[in-house]
Chains A and B, each alone.
Chain A
Amino acid sequence: MGNPARRIGRRISAQGIATCTATIALIAIAGACTEPRPTAPTGTGAFAASRGWTHADSAAAGDFDRAPASDAISDGTASIVSVSPSLFQGYTQPNAIDITLAGPVNSVTVVGNGAIECSGDYGTLTGFDAAGTELGSVPLELIDPSDCSPPSNPDNVTYGAHATLTVSRGIIASVRITPMSPLEFPVFDLVGHASQLYTVTLGVAAPPPATLVVHCDPTVVRGQTVSCTATVTPTQPYVVTHRHADGAGYTFDSADRISQSDGAPYEWSGQAVIDTHVSITVEVPVNGTPTALPPGTSELAVTPRTGAEWTGLEIPATTPTPEYVAGPPLLANPFPTLGTLLSPDGAIGQYQRVIAYYWGTVANGPNTNLVYTRAPATIQPPHIYIHAWLLPTSAFYRAQHADPNVVLGRNHCSAADIDRLRNNTIAHEDRHYTEDRAFFENQDVQAALEAAHGEFDVSTLGQPGSGQALTAARDAAAAAAYKTAWDAAVKTAVDQQYPVQTPDCIPRQP
């Protein structure tokens, strides 16, 4: 026995009244139409159909309007964009049906309803991707072969055929339903005309799990901009929830939330200073709940800046000529302790030299908060300062005249004592200069400074104490690069090996 309901449909069709229901299940195109089949121009009985109709005739009869051209499925992710010429196919519309789809469709099911002969070809469902490449094809099969010739009605006619095309790769962007054959067939002593009004069901592929990929420029010259990009696939809105970077002695973490509502890649960029491991974490909405993806990581390597300007910092070869001053940078009173020529360190003589650093601080990117030298250091000519009180022209010097009769004990200073102190001081400062020059000849201070770096929290800039912190970071970077070694070789060693010999006499106050 055939399905009564379906057979009713078939019989309605056979009686020349088309009842169509275009349902896109899953989905929901639901439309219905009931209209009388037009009388054929030339008929052969009850099954006389519109074989001789033109396409325009069919359109006028409404055959092409039996299904909406497009609709959206319930979750809004896939839809029928257009159907050409309509979802009806058969004797009066013998052309292939082309259906254009939108969304991540990976399965299409068509179910016909009408009347077809239970033999021959029921048509073919073929899917294509957006480029028009065929993804797969399946023949339509009878929905209910037992309905063909039940004992009660052995007419070798059934109500419909169906097919499901599922693809494992690619997105089905369009399908074509080729027509059944034959379009005309004998039914007992009559002539039957094939007709199928298809319903279309779209299957949507489960979205692939979101993944996060972080990619940093693999190699960057120090000071150049490095870019790390976080990409979420499939493209969707997301929020960057955590950025982490670490290198030798360096760690940066930020929990600032950065929304990428358009799903575009997030770029984290700034000057590169040291080799760094980068990790970024994002959240994506899963069923409306923010869900963290596994962190994406990447590595960046930093190469030194090269070139003549980044090597070979040197101290000028000319020994500085002593400059005599009675105040800054020396003390106004070099002998504050009465009765002795002993003076505070640096009060009667200093060797001074300025090395001009050009520090930069990274405010953004995976090396945020790193302090580094953004340009080669330069050296200014050194100076030797000697206190003017040691000059014969000074009042202090002129006041020094020894007691001629003292044999034992400490005598008052003489001019010769001050001359000796002056010369000893100059010799001492000259030694600082000599060792300073030797240090820079033996050490590539410029190259050491090129790689120097420290840490400073740029977010505190402008707050009280930030200047001191920044200075401390720079000083620490310079100390690690060369300054600690310089202090030992140029300051401490000279002071220990070549101390200023101070005459043990009593200076007179001028």
Chain B
Amino acid sequence: MSQHRRPLLFVAACAAMLGRATTAQGQAAAADSARCAQAANLVRAYDQAMIESGGHAVEGGGKSEQRQLAAAQLLTCGAEGGTTAAATIRSARFLTDTTALNELVGPFDDFRDTAVVNASMNVAADPSASIEARVFALRTLWVVRTGKFWIVYDRMLPTSESTSAHPVAACDDGLEVTDAKPAWSHGVEPPPGFDAAILTLADQLAADPLQPMAVRAAATCAARP
């Protein structure tokens, strides 16, 4: 039953947002609560549908793009944006499809928000979560800490140099990037010391031989400057 209702909810949310976008006056004003609420509804509906389908793309032209726009909108929505993003990060923790994960949680990687940080730390440390979701969570932790949003998932995976004693990922080794400076989208600013907490978690995961090698390697990236 829910599989039928949720796409409908998603379509309704899309329509509301599009209608708002095309009729609203004064778009230069800060994102208002109604707009953020609509974006949040759209993201929740889309993400829920996608997660319940195991990461398969939601059918329907433009739905993915609308979700993408809504997610981008949420980055300007403060606490509401952070709460919604955090819910997605938690809900997607069992997904293994990296394309789906990139679509769902990728837009929030630079979201410096308390809820996002907490959710990412929970997923990164959650042994029941999929390895892929944990790597994405570690990527988010690295970006919210350093602002290096240009690092992609693949560069956090173990390289051939990895050993059980020393997990190694490429991270930003040898990556020459122009025009890029650390940047964040700001939500509810994490409390002081959050970056130290991220470092601690990353170091623990990287050093834990019981953790999957992919998680350990990604953790070495999350611990990097």
Contact assessment for B21 and A509 in the assembled complex, using a CB-CB cutoff below 8 Å: yes
Chain B contacts with A in 79-124, Cβ cutoff 8 A: 102-103, 106-110
Nearest CB of chain A from residue B176's CB, rounded to whole Å: 5
Q: Is B177 an interface position by the 8 A CB rule?
A: yes
Q: For chain B, residues 45 to 101, give those with C-beta under 8 angstroms from any C-beta of chain A.
A: 62, 65-66, 68-69, 71-73, 75-76
Decide: A353 near B176, CB < 8 A? Known: A329-B152, A333-B72, A333-B73.
yes
Q: Is the CB of B75 within 8 A of A333?
A: yes
- Considering only residues 65-110 of chain A, those with a C-beta below 8 Å from chain B are none
Which residues from A are CB-within-8-Å of B200? 464
Any chain B CB within 8 A of the CB of A345?
yes
- B175 CB–A CB distance under 8 Å: yes
Chain B residue nearest to A507 in the complex (CB) = B27
Q: Is the CB of B72 within 8 A of A328?
A: no
User: Closest Cβ of chain B: how far from A507's Cβ, in Å?
Assistant: 8
Give CA–CA (A436, B225) in the complex, Å: 25
Contact between chains at A326 and B68 (CB < 8 Å): yes
User: Please, which residues of chain B bring their CB within 8 A of the CB of A317?
Assistant: none
Segment at the B interface, from A5-13, A205-213, A415-423, A468-476: A468-476
Interface residues of B in 134-178 (CB under 8 A from A): 149-153, 165-166, 170-171, 173-178
Which of the segments A38-46, A148-156, A488-496 contacts the partner chain? A488-496
In the assembly, what is the distance between CA of A428 and CA of B180, in Å? 13
Cα separation A349 to B178 with both chains bound (whole Å): 9
For the complex, what is the distance from the CA of A356 to the CA of B149, rounded to whole Å? Answer: 20
How many CB-defined contacts (below 8 Å) exist between A and B? 153
Count A interface residues, CB 8 Å: 52
Assess whether B210 is interfacial by the CB under 8 Å rule. no
Tell me the complex Cα distance, A508–B18, Å.
12
Q: How large is the interface on B (under 10, 10 to 19, 20 to 34, 35 or more residues)?
A: 35 or more
Contact, CB under 8 Å: A328 / B30: no
Evaluate whether A352 and B176 lie within 8 angstroms (CB atoms) in the complex, with A399-B21, A462-B165, A471-B224 already known: yes
A429: which B residues are within 8 A, CB to CB? 178-179
- CB contacts (< 8 Å) of A344 on chain B: these are 181, 183
**Given contacts A331-B183, A465-B203, A510-B21, are A395 and B62 in contact (CB under 8 A)?**
yes
Whether A329 lies near B174 (C-beta < 8 A) is no
Q: Enumerate chain B residues within 8 angstroms of A339, measured Cβ to Cβ.
A: 27-28
Q: Is A126 an interface residue, CB under 8 A from the partner?
A: no
A467 within 8 A of B: yes
Q: A268 at the A/B interface (Cβ < 8 Å)?
A: no
Bound complex: CA A328 to CA B223 (Å)? 20
A485: interface (CB < 8 Å): no
Q: Are B174's CB and A354's CB within 8 A?
A: yes
In the docked arrangement, what's the CA distance between A467 and B64, Å?
A: 38
Cβ of A347 within 8 Å of any chain B Cβ, yes or no, is yes
Please determine whether A328 and B176 come into contact, CB atoms closer than 8 angstroms: no
* Residue among A332, A490, A506 making CB contact with B107, cutoff 8 Å: A332
Closest CB of chain B to A464's CB: distance in Å? 4
The answer on a CB contact under 8 Å between A352 and B66 is no
Residues in A neighbouring B203, C-beta threshold 8 A: 464-465, 467
Q: How far is the CB of A71 from chain B (nearest CB, A)?
A: 58
- B residues in contact with A330, CB < 8 Å: 149-150
Residue contact B75 to A336, C-beta cutoff 8 Å = yes
A338 pairs with B27, CB closer than 8 A: yes
| Contacting residues of chain A (453-486) with chain B, CB-CB under 8 angstroms | 461-462, 464-465, 467-468, 471-472, 474, 478, 486
Specify the chain B residue showing the minimal Cβ separation from A494.
Answer: B178
A351–B149 touching, CB < 8 Å = no
Q: Mark A387-401, 1 if CB is under 8 A from B, else 0.
A: 000000011100100
Tell me if A506 and B28 are in contact (CB < 8 A): yes
Q: Give A288 to B177 CA distance when docked, in angstroms.
A: 65
| Pairwise interchain contact A332-B72, C-beta atoms closer than 8 A | yes
**B29 CB within 8 Å of chain A:** yes
User: Contact residues of A with B, CB < 8 Å?
Assistant: 326-333, 336, 338-339, 344-347, 349-357, 377, 394-396, 399, 428-429, 432, 436, 461-462, 464-465, 467-468, 471-472, 474, 478, 486, 490-491, 494-495, 506, 508-510
Could you show 26 A-B contacts with beta carbons less than 8 Å apart? A328-B149, A330-B149, A331-B110, A332-B68, A332-B71, A332-B75, A332-B108, A332-B109, A333-B75, A338-B28, A350-B180, A351-B178, A352-B175, A354-B170, A356-B173, A356-B174, A395-B69, A464-B200, A467-B206, A467-B220, A471-B173, A474-B173, A486-B176, A491-B178, A495-B178, A509-B21
Give me 13 other A-B pairs in contact (C-beta within 8 A), A326-B68, A331-B183, A352-B150 excluded.
Answer: A328-B106, A330-B149, A333-B75, A333-B76, A333-B107, A350-B177, A351-B178, A353-B176, A354-B175, A428-B179, A432-B178, A465-B223, A472-B225
6 closest pairs, A vs B, by CB?
A346-B180, A332-B107, A333-B72, A339-B28, A344-B183, A329-B150
